[in-house]
Amino acid sequence: MKKTAFATIYALLFAGILCISADPVMAKDKKVLLKVPVAFGTHLPGLGDGILYISERLETLSGGSLKMKVYEPGKLVAPFEILDAVSTGKINAGYSTAGYWAGKIPAAPLFSAVPFGPDAPEFLAWFYYGNGMDLYQEMYDQAGYDVKVLLAGIIAPETSGWFEKPIESAKDLKGLRMRFFGLGGAAMQKLGVQTSLLPGGEIFPALEKGAIDATEFSMPAIDARLGFYKVVKHNYFPGWHQQATTFELLINKDVWNKMSAQQQMAMEVICKASVMDCFSHTEAIQGEVIRDNVNDRGVKIHYWSDDMLDVFRQAWGEVVEEQSKDPFFKKVYDDFSEFHENYSYWASLGFMPRPEPPK
């Protein structure tokens, strides 16, 4: 099973970490303090606390040559300014998600979450054993950003949104003001939804004051922390727009290049371990939250009909066609599509179909 494989990989990664940390050569490396502003509060499981997994272990792993100090959103730089700040050297590192840079780089959201795209195992397979990481770095290099990118987290599927009333057809979406992320937001715009990309901390007040009618943000465990159920009671699944969502650690290129080979390897290994921890953690905690939403908070759970999923899929197809006018977007999307074709043949044989939910 997929989760068994993930547990095995996680154990192997830790074996590698222990070998690296035992090397006395690292004690001779020049010490580096990475000051890392984050785009998401570290109280949010998976979404924000993944960077803490790294920061709490990095000094030990590196034999004291690498340290990390984490700054909550807005404390050092604003979340949407992290990429520019790391690139210019205003800060030497930052933690965010590539989808936040859609206005700067059209292809960036493809490295964050792909509508009707991969779940975590397939996404990671493409990143690590396809062309994903090479294209990820190439994107920033080509766009003129002086950063080294490391994949640092991936989370379980998100919910598809929180609504005040049931959505029976595409007509019910038209005119809604909704917080929506990334390429899924572009697809929703095709259906007449007025989307905005609000940071997590601003969503609940916007719902409460009626500035937006609906929202999506993350997984059930995070949405519950933010209290959306207090205002809107209809929660929709599946998260067709974000079956898996990744997070990146950006390091200023000059800082990265001055690290020793062992320090760079330490960063790469700890980030891979963080990815596995993030996924395992977020997979583990969703079911109980959903039960609490239904049993204690009056939330009504919905699963989109096949007809509605087809509506979303068609809208997404229009977005792909438009976005593919950008050459690098097309290059990345075509590469992943080719990978997906081969992976799908394996997945069609290797895995069980979706089980029925418990009664």
Measured in whole angstroms, the distance separating CA 152 from the mean position of its chain's CA atoms is 9
What are the CA-CA distances from residue 347 to residues 237, 338, 343 (Å)? 22, 14, 6
Cis bond leading into 157, ω under 30°?
A: no
Is the Cβ–Cβ distance between 332 and 110 less than 8 Å? yes
Looking at CATH, the fold of the domain delimited by 2-157+243-284 is given as D-Maltodextrin-Binding Protein; domain 2 (3.40.190)
Give helix 286-296 / helix 261-284 axis angle, nearest 10°: 30
According to the model, what pLDDT value does residue 47 have? 87
Task: Give 327-337 pLDDT, tens digit per residue.
Answer: 999 999 999 99
According to the model, what pLDDT value does residue 351 have? 84
According to the model, what pLDDT value does residue 12 have? 47
Task: Give the span between the Cα atoms of 320 and 186, in whole angstroms.
Answer: 10
DSSP character for 239? -
Residues 6+ away with beta carbon under 8 Å from 99? 108, 109, 111, 112, 113, 181, 182, 183, 245
Beta bridge partners of 234: 163, 300
- Determine which helix (DSSP H) or strand (DSSP E) holds 8, and give its type and residue range: helix 2-21
According to the model, what pLDDT value does residue 19 have? 52
According to the model, what pLDDT value does residue 89 have? 98
According to the model, what pLDDT value does residue 16 have? 53
Task: Give 108-165 pLDDT, tens digit per residue.
Answer: 999 999 999 899 999 999 999 999 999 999 999 999 999 999 999 999 999 999 999 9
Residue carrying structure tokens 């949104």: 161
Report, as ranges of residue numbers, the positions in the chain whose pLDDT lies below 70.
Answer: 1-27, 354-355, 357-359
Domain residue spans of the chain: 2-157+243-284, 161-241+301-323
Nearest-5° angle of CA 247, CA 343, CA 283? 40
The class (CATH top level) of 161-241+301-323 is alpha beta
According to the model, what pLDDT value does residue 201 have? 86
Sign of the dihedral through C-alpha 129, 132, 134, 136:
negative
According to the model, what pLDDT value does residue 353 have? 78
Give the pairing of strands 93-96 and 32-37: unpaired
Examine domains 2-157+243-284 and 161-241+301-323 and report if their fold is the same.
yes
Task: Give 295-313 pLDDT, tens digit per residue.
Answer: 999 999 999 999 999 999 9
